[in-house]
Amino acid sequence: MPSTTPHTTGARRSTGPSRRWLLPALCSAALLASPMAFAGHHGPHGDHSRGKPSAETCERFQDGREGRHQQRWQQHRERMNERHAEVAERLELTPAQRQTWDTIRDEQQAKWQERMAERQDRMRERCQEATDEQ
């Protein structure tokens, strides 16, 4: 029987647990960090949270005039209310379940209203700051 010789071109390094996770971890870190590398404030409208509202926007807000998209939002709300009712019908809910379903919807709308009130307060403050600086 012929004798076999071990492979002599070089010793193979063991790929223990410490080496197996290094490359995937580096690739994952690079992929996770890439959006942050490209993120930034591009142009005059890039940073909406810190920008000052225009005089026209503040005037419209203080006069209580509806925003330019108010009609579209109203149509959207109507469509969502219709969809809510259609889904409830498809689910064939009992009256008690339907009451719970409607309560959940009311709670969601109340949270939305609360967030909108907070946004309006922030807008009021920003407009006040803008008028104070002038």
Does residue 26 sit within a domain?
no
Does residue 94 sit within a domain?
yes
Per-chain mean pLDDT for the chain: 77
Instruction: Assess whether pLDDT exceeds 90 at residue 57.
Output: no
pLDDT band for position 108 (50/70/90)? very high
Instruction: Assess whether pLDDT exceeds 80 at residue 120.
Output: yes
Chain center to CA of 94: 34
Does residue 29 sit within a domain?
no
Q: How many domains does the chain have?
A: 1
Average pLDDT for 52-81 = 77
The Cβ of residue 84 has, within 10 Å, a number of other Cβ atoms equal to 15
Does residue 60 sit within a domain?
no
Distance CA 85, CA 74 (A): 17
Does residue 108 sit within a domain?
yes
**The pLDDT value given to residue 71:** 80
Amino acid code (one letter) for 61: F
Does residue 40 sit within a domain?
no
Does residue 47 sit within a domain?
no
**The pLDDT value given to residue 102:** 92
Structure tokens given for 31? 């992929």
Q: Which range marks the domain in which residue 81 is found?
A: 68-133
Average pLDDT for 35-43 = 61
Does residue 101 sit within a domain?
yes
